[in-house]
Chain A
Amino acid sequence: MARAGDPAALLRIRGLGKSYAAPVLVDVELDLVGGEVHALVGANGAGKSTLARLICGIDQADTGEMELEGAAYAPRGKREAERLGVHLIPQELNLIATLSVAENLFLPRLPSRFGMLDRPRLEAAARAALATVGLDGLDPWTVVGGLGVGHQQLVEIAKALAHPCRMLILDEPTAALTSPEIETLFGEIDRLRRAGVALVYVSHRMEEIQRIADRTTVLRDGRVVHTGPTAELPTARALQLMVGREVARAMSRERAAPGAVALTVEGLSRGELVDNVSFTVRRGEILGVAGLVGSGRTELLRAVFGADAPDAGRVLVGDPPRRVKIEQPSDAVRAGIGMVPEDRKEQGLLLQEPVRVNATLARLSAMTHRGGWLDLEAERGVAEQSRDAMAVRCSSVEQPVRELSGGNQQKVLIGRWLLRDVDVLLFDEPTRGIDVEAKEMVYRVLGELAAAGKALVVVSSELEELLAICDRIAVMSAGKMAATLERDECTHERIMTAAFSNYLSGPDAVLHGASA
């Protein structure tokens, strides 16, 4: 980024870098100017949110520096950043639902007199703060939980403005808003821009960015690949920049001819995020599910598995397809479907229990003699076989599973379903938070499962991963199946185009990238 730098910049970012397990941000250079809306765009994991967190002090950079109005700026916490006038409106709002708007606005420092809440002063201050975001009519004593998400967001903005505010970062602010609410928000953003506030707008909704951003920065793999006026960056070009290159990677696994149909999903709907979705998977096949975070991929898997009962649609298993009624995960498992959930610790594992107990949980009935008695010897044997088959690294099968690394925990979970011998396996982000070696192990296992005639559905935010292991890739966009691409059609660009398709324009133009 050999730019001279904007002399008028409010915040200068130079050489900023951050690594967690792997580098997330690399050598980021950016000038943010007062009175300007600056959009940050990029694919999943490009580093947008991390950058936002560094700017507002939630996380600290490993390398590089920032300058706020010429002075070194390295906030060690959110509080400090806020004191200097830098505020973040997070995607998940931070309001306390059971308290009033007024109390939420001034929560860290409520006005008081003799230790009692000074209600008149609080109310006056709250009214003034609400007026700055156009909520003059709102009673400050309204309980926040009773407000719509849009109003809550404005309250959060008013909270930022109630303190000195020079820079406001909005992380996916429209994700949960209705169109009128979005209009209100845009009006407010425009007003703040004219008041000289520097605004950072993090979003993947290209249409909104085209509308309100003065400049746009594209991040890819943690690097700034483009910064310039939004007007000179057509959406197609922005998508290209996010993707970066045309990659057609050879399949790294042996591929058998797909077998009989194993799972058929027809017109499945559940809530807002699964809207009339249909697909099939065959034995020996890996179907990838791509899409942006929040596009309904996890919700789709949960609906198929019965974790959240679907509102409409049918699930059929086998060939010829036989309809199964799935209202509970136990129904799905009986029909031969298993799921490895996204959040291993919360949804999959019994952390304090040993590997043995975790491995055999779905298959205990095979560990009994006569009725319900557990045969602990047999169980241990089975658990040890599972450990060996999955190459789980543990001191013994009696080691509590919480002491294992993320990758080994994941292997234990996969092993649980192998013991159960299901035909269809649903994986939600199977390699999230595990190291490279374990990832390769997971890929190998997925390949072996397919080779053994299982039908797999794999949700992942890592396109490379899907391109490497999948036979076909279905793309979700705003709750709909936007495209299903055969392997030879799968490219970064086509997938990303489909993933963004339902976010590009209004609800009337949803069909953009849909394949029959």
Chain B
Amino acid sequence: MNPPTTTTAEPGRSPLAGRMGGHLQGAAAEHLGLVLVLALLVGMFGALSENFLSALTFTTLANQIPALTVVAVGMTLVLVIGGIDLSVGSVLALSGGILGVALTSWGLPLWLGALLALGVGLLAGIVNGWVTVAWAVPSFIVTLGMLEIARGSAYLVTASQSLYVGEPVQPLGAPTALGLSPTWFLAILLVAAGQVTLSRTIFGRYMIAIGTNEQAVRLSGIDPRPVKMIVFALVGVLAGLGGVFSVAYLETADPNAGIGIELAAIAAVVIGGTSLMGGRGSVVNSFLGVLIISVLQVGLAQIGASEPVKRVVTGAVIVLAVILDSYRHRFAPRGEVWRRLRKTPG
């Protein structure tokens, strides 16, 4: 878990709370457990390290997470429909590479370079979706292939060199208000957009239904194929955006960027309670998962844990989170009914 990642954002604080206000009240309960874990971690690191509870820690953290955040948003969507996309890290590197080349060699403006990068992500996503849907190949295999294809392409595009981009990407990556970069605001916006899509649009309803029982969806007269295609395409675009964010943060296009980010994203999404079997998921919870992982990384670094120790602890936390989640669902039925009932009048 050492991709260009880390976290920020004051855990229990505004961005989430604000957005949750618009959410159905009952849903807050779903987030509560994760917010508590996050608060606990922040409190713990705050007690262990005198430097941890500072504005600097949090702004640093905030500016590190946008790439992982948008990738995790995409991963949530694809897991909800019962698929998976392992190629996001490579697509991120390829898109970043394209952006780097566009800005340095071709002299394109930032907006055009970014558009190209998103286009490349879209293309990879469309290929993933098309092969998965048209040939009914498990997406695990298809995207494993794309993982290699896109990584190889990233090396080709950048001639296996890290390209220093510098100033041209600073409009995206440099801190602005409150020390937060534009990429951070964009990432938060996308978390909100992803959540709204999932819970408030017909498209999102179809996604959840497909992940729950694709056959029933088909026999209800809804063709699941276009929905799945679009989701894979979206995940590709989000991975492309992750590439742009990564370049903006590092001011460098690195063909090795995003190695392992698919696993970090899956970990964050699973910590957030999204089911690997599909049909259940929350983008906001995935974002909380990203925050938990990132706080853990930064906090462990600040109390002087070595890289190997960080990985051991992070791994253990992921497993623990999933065990807790499985308990929550095993014993949920009654509580769930109650919760849904309470939701009704609202």
Chain A residues near B (Cβ < 8 Å): 305, 307, 328-330, 332-334, 338-339, 341, 346-354, 357, 361-362, 364-365, 367-368, 372-374, 376, 380, 395-400, 403, 416, 420
Contacts and interface: CB of A to CB of B under 8 A. Distances in A.
A206 to B, nearest CB: 35
23 contacts: A307-B218, A328-B218, A347-B219, A349-B216, A350-B209, A350-B216, A352-B280, A357-B205, A357-B209, A361-B205, A361-B220, A362-B220, A372-B201, A372-B202, A374-B200, A374-B201, A374-B204, A376-B200, A396-B341, A398-B341, A398-B344, A399-B337, A403-B333
B218 to A, nearest CB: 6
Interface of B: 200-206, 208-209, 212-213, 215-223, 279-280, 333, 336-337, 340-341, 343-344
10 closest cross-chain pairs (CB), A and B: A333-B221, A398-B340, A330-B223, A350-B212, A372-B201, A362-B220, A364-B202, A361-B220, A372-B202, A398-B344
B283 to A, nearest CB: 16
A420 B279 CA distance: 23
Contact of A420 (B206, B221, B223, B333): B221
B201 A373 contact: yes
A329 B221 contact: yes
A329 B209 contact: no
Contacts of A368: 202
Contacts of B208: 350, 353, 357
Contact of A351 (B212, B220, B221): B212
Contacts of B203: 372
Nearest to B225: A328
Given A374-B201, A398-B341, A352 B219 contact: no
Nearest to A376: B200
B343 A339 contact: no
A341 B220 CA distance: 10
A349 B343 CA distance: 22
A339 B220 CA distance: 8
A223 B220 CA distance: 40
Contacts of B341: 395-396, 398-399
Nearest to B217: A361
Nearest to A340: B219
Nearest to A339: B219
A362 B209 CA distance: 11
Given A329-B219, A361-B220, A372-B203, 19 more contacts: A330-B221, A332-B221, A333-B220, A333-B221, A339-B219, A346-B213, A346-B216, A350-B208, A352-B212, A352-B280, A353-B212, A361-B205, A361-B222, A362-B222, A372-B202, A373-B201, A398-B344, A399-B341, A403-B337
Contacts of A364: 202, 205-206
B337 A400 contact: yes
B200 A329 contact: no
A420 B219 CA distance: 13
Contact of B340 (A328, A354, A367): A354
Nearest to B279: A352
B10 to A, nearest CB: 31
Contacts of A354: 340
Nearest to B329: A352
A347 B205 contact: no
Contacts of B337: 395, 399-400, 403
Nearest to B211: A350
Nearest to B343: A398
Contacts of B201: 372-374
A372 B215 CA distance: 23
Nearest to B223: A330
Given A352-B280, A399-B337, A380 B344 contact: yes
Contact of A349 (B213, B218, B336, B340): B213
Contacts of B222: 330, 361-362
A313 to B, nearest CB: 20
A399 B218 CA distance: 23
Contacts of B216: 346-350, 361
A271 B344 CA distance: 47
Contacts of A307: 218-219
A409 to B, nearest CB: 12
Contacts of B333: 400, 403
